Amino acid sequence: MNAALRPAALDRRALGRALSRAADAGLADILSAPPREERHVARRIGVTGPPGAGKSTLIAALARFRLSRASRVAIVAIDPTSPKTRGSILGDRIRMDGLVDDPRVFIRSLASRGATDGLADNLPEILSVFDDYGFDEIILETVGVGQSEFAVRELVDVELLVLTPGAGDQIQAMKAGILETADIYVVNKADQPEARRVEAELKATLTLTAGAGPVPPVVLVRADAGENIAALDAAIEAATMRIAGDPESQRRRRARQRIKGIFWRRLAQTIEDLPQAAFDQSLPELYATVLTDLKKAATGRGRTIT
């Protein structure tokens, strides 16, 4: 992979294929891969928020803005996989059409596959491929439902939560939850009359939640018109400044997320593979069976797509 480090020209075909290999890799492939040496690390910006909040449009505007200082920006957008057919429609990139002709941008759509946390199988492995190809930044769009706000936290350096006017009720419901995880709160569709009120409510709630700690910034934007993206960009810079000073905890957070992802997937598969009769056992017996199977799986080959 070293030859691919900061290549003069980006080999998009090779990168595209490397991403597929990372996405399809089985457990054994991941565990037997040679350890990565210390090298270029792309900054990761996570974008979460409910469906319809304008995440894709915001990401397009943000990427365009950040290209003024980054030489290569990746966008990874996750859409849900149907649990029934395992198929999916990956439609986020339609809102990023304007970026496709820019050779500095690489957009990749992912299906969540087996992941139930709003992210995708093998996501840590997929993201690190962009490190190998010299990207400065990765903007990650989650599915936007369920637990993605929490799961993405450990995988990114900065997390943005995007809300819209009319989200007043959402804020009420989320007080104890995701309002504790994001670094920056974005109120999109600032042209709508309710936007100011949502911003104020959000600030009030965040001040309560923060206690004695710093209150995270709330930025009002209009993604479709590119309005106030500069302020959001500045907030991201300020937030990443803090992280840059602590590379060790960043490295540890990523390692933790990586091992978690591998185990969730393996565990789900192990339980899925149990014969029906296994469920006649008592709970402690069943627990022991799963543990034994997990150990066996660690030495066997992983399946590519399950």
Partner 1 sequence: MSDTIETPVISAPPLRGKRILVAKPGLDGHDIGAKVIALALRDAGAEVIYTGLRKSPGFIARVAVDEDVDAVGLSILSGSHKELVADAIAALADQGASNIPVFVGGTIPEEDVAMLLALGVTAVFTADMKLDDVVAAVAERLAERLAERQA
Binding site for partner 1 (CB under 8 A): 11-13, 15-17, 19-20, 24, 81-82, 85-91, 93-94, 97, 100-101, 106-109, 111, 304-305
- Minimum Å distance from CB 248 to partner 1? 33
The SS3 of residue 220 is strand
Looking at the Cβ atoms of 86 and 251, the one nearer to partner 1 is 86
Instruction: Determine the Cα–Cα distance for residues 66 and 48; give it in Å rounded to an integer.
Output: 18
Shortest distance in whole angstroms from residue 82 CB to partner 1: 7
Q: How far apart are CA 87 and CA 113, in angstroms?
A: 8
Closest approach, Cβ 297 to partner 1, in A, equals: 20
> What are the two backbone dihedrals, phi and then psi, of residue 113, each rounded to the nearest 5 degrees?
50, -125
Contact predicate 35/129, CB 8 Å = no
Residue closer to partner 1 by CB (options 129, 195) is: 129
Pick the closer one to partner 1 by CB: 94 or 277: 94
Cβ 93 vs Cβ 109: under 8 Å: yes
Give the E-state strand segments of 112-263 in sequence order: 137-141, 158-163, 184-187, 218-220
d(CA 162, CA 188): 7
Closest separation between CB of residue 257 and partner 1, Å? 23
Residue type, 69: R
- The answer to whether the beta carbons of residues 133 and 42 sit under 8 Å apart is no
Q: Distance (Å, rounded) from C-alpha 209 to C-alpha 248? A: 27
Q: 105 or 229: whose CB is closer to partner 1?
A: 105
Q: How far is the CB of 94 from partner 1 (least distance, A)?
A: 5
Tokens of 139: 């903007």
Radius of gyration of the chain (CA): 20
Min separation Cβ 197 and partner 1, Å: 34
Residue 105 or 156 having the CB closest to partner 1: 105
The CA–CA distances, whole Å, from 132 to 14, 84, 135, 184, 196 equal: 12, 35, 8, 28, 42
Cβ of residue 105: shortest distance to partner 1, in angstroms?
A: 9
> What residues does 43 pair with on adjacent strands?
137
Nearer to partner 1, 248 or 272 (CB): 272
Minimum CB separation from partner 1 for residue 222, in Å? 22
Closest to partner 1 by CB, 225 or 305: 305
Name residue 162's beta-bridge partners: 186
Q: Would you say 83 or 245 has its CB closer to partner 1?
A: 83
